[in-house]
A and B are shown apart, each in its own frame.
Chain A
Amino acid sequence: MSSRQVETSGFGAFAGPVLRDGGKFTFEIAAHHLNADDRLHGGMMMTLASIVLGDVAREAANEKQPGARVNPLSLNCDFVSAGEKGETIEGRAEVTRATRTVLFISGELRAGSRILMTATGVYSIKAAEEK
């Protein structure tokens, strides 16, 4: 399977790019993603988590209701370890539970075998015609 860019416009593209190949998301840490201590900025780490969890939520919603959109209701992020410049971050997420209107998503970010972040999110599902 070949990789494609997730979120090709707006903030996801401006902060990214984040690539997806099947269930695996990848992102490379560049100089502008860092904090003042030369580590991956916490805001960028949460942005990555929101892109990974959001894309898995969108996919799950669309499998059931084509054209459906998702909106984040909550996001919880734990900062387990720091990311360094030049590292490739790998993200994965899965659906914990899907109801007709709400999705529970859980995921993690890693650099090799080291976990950087664990995250859970709750998303609302909006049908295509709903605003």
Chain B
Amino acid sequence: MRTPLPSPRDVAAPDGWRVSALHDPFEAHVGPLFERDAEEGARIFGFIVDERHVNGEGEVHEGMMLTFADAFLGGAANRAAEGKGCVTLSMQASFLKPARIGDLVECHTRLERKTRAIIFVSGRLSAGGEDLVTVTSLWKVLGER
């Protein structure tokens, strides 16, 4: 097992969460990111908004939301592909509501369809039970056709 990359900031995991092991330098750069196990084997991901993640108006930058979504929708695609490498082909996001500093943003992922070469994953980013961003995405399984 490779050693996870450190994040530039030390943020304690919220109660019931653990720190995600990150191997992508850019995810470590914006992290730490957190995860917890939910019912029925589902895994939920989270991050706590700090001043690195916001725009000039104090709202989470859409780039951060998409980075967070890409990290964990990609994880869902990778699990669906039974560990084979996957690359993002396309991602569509709708921004419903902003998040602010101190919010714990969660990402719930859902596998929509899997063929040998292509995987469809959707995601919902929320904070305090309110939806913030909905995402659909398309992934290519490397080496499959």
In the bound complex, do residue A72 and residue B25 qualify as a contact, i.e. CB atoms below 8 Å apart? Answer: no
Whole-angstrom CA separation of A76 from B135 in the bound complex: 10
The residue among A10, A32, A77 with the most chain B CB atoms within 10 A of its own CB is A10
Which B residues between 82 and 105 are near A, CB-CB below 8 angstroms? Answer: 85, 87-95, 98
A43, B63: Cβ atoms under 8 Å?
yes
A side interface size, CB within 8 A:
35
Q: Which residue in A7, A35, A69, A75 is a CB contact (below 8 Å) of B26?
A: A35
**Given A33-B26, A41-B70, 7 further pairs, Cβ under 8 A:** A11-B55, A11-B64, A43-B67, A43-B68, A46-B91, A75-B62, A79-B87
In the complex, the answer to whether B63 meets A12 with C-beta atoms within 8 Å is: yes
Knowing A10-B51, A10-B54, say if A31 contacts B63 (CB, 8 Å).
no
Q: Collect the chain A residues with CB atoms within 8 Å of residue B74's CB.
A: 42
User: B-side interface residues toward A, CB under 8 Å?
Assistant: 23-30, 51-57, 60-64, 66-71, 74, 85, 87-95, 98
Contact check, A46 vs B63: say whether CB atoms are below 8 A apart: yes
A77 B67 Cβ-Cβ under 8 A: no
- With contacts defined as CB atoms under 8 Å apart, how many contacts are there between chain A and chain B in the complex? 119
Query: Looking at the complex, which one of A9, A32, A74, A76 makes contact with B56 (CB distance below 8 Å)?
Result: A9
The 10 closest A-B pairs by CB, nearest first: A43-B67, A47-B63, A11-B61, A41-B26, A46-B66, A43-B70, A35-B24, A36-B23, A42-B88, A42-B70
Q: Is the CB of B25 within 8 A of A11?
A: no
B24 CB to closest chain A CB (Å) equals: 4
A residues within 8 A CB of B63? Answer: 11-12, 15, 43-44, 46-48, 50-51
Question: Would A47 and B64 count as touching, CB distance under 8 A?
Answer: yes
Q: Which of A69, A71, A79 has the most CB of B within 10 A?
A: A79
User: Nearest-CB distance from A44 to chain B (Å)?
Assistant: 5
Within the assembled complex, what's the spacing in Å between the Cα atoms of A75 and B68? Answer: 15
Known: A12-B55, A35-B26, A69-B57. A74 touches B92 (CB 8 A): yes
Q: Which residues of B are found within 8 Å of A54, using beta-carbon distances?
A: 62
Contact of A10 among B27, B61, B68 (CB under 8 A): B61
